[in-house]
Amino acid sequence: MPEPVSGPWLGIDYGARVVGVAMAHPLTGTARPLAPLPHTSTERLDQDLKLLIGEWRPSHVVVGLPLAKDGTESSMSKRVRKFAAALSRNHAELGVELQDERMTSELAARQFAERRRSGRARKKDAANLDSVAAAVILDAWMRDHGKI
């Protein structure tokens, strides 16, 4: 049986230069990308995330875990685990969970290409691809946890 519905939920696609972010709410059941956050320093990212969390007040943060296709850990997986642990310490009121993000970048790129073909996205919107990936990660988490 799924756990009680709460929300909204914040999805994160952690990257060395850019952090994609997306939000979803239990009533809509779909994630939508937000403006990505620059990752110029840990301090700046922490400040940006604090503002975002304060604005949206999520109950859960879902962080994409980049695993190799065979499921093994990489150096980036370790960085993401460290980031998620720090996020959990800094925001103890939130449930911070990891979600396998294998293939999300490819899926986000396909979704973006489809939106461009249909006229719903422009080339300049490609800067938000990391946040589209965060939405894909969040959608997968909601599906895996019976939220949608």
The CA distances from residue 13 to 4, 7, 85, 131, 132, in Å, are 25, 19, 15, 7, 9
Return the domain boundaries, the chain: 9-144
- Sign, Cα dihedral of 54, 56, 61, 66: negative
pLDDT at position 148 is: 64
Low-confidence ranges of the chain (pLDDT < 50): 1-2, 4
pLDDT at position 64 is: 96
CA distance 12 to 97: 10
Enter the CATH code of domain 9-144: 3.30.420.140
**125: which residues sit within 8 A by CB, 6+ positions away?**
112, 115, 116
Identify any residues that bridge with 9 across adjacent strands, giving them in sequence order.
Answer: 24, 60
SS3 content of the chain, % helix, strand, coil (to 5): 45, 20, 35
pLDDT at position 4 is: 45
Q: What is the C-alpha end-to-end distance of the chain, expressed in Å?
A: 13
Tokens describing residue 143: 């599906």
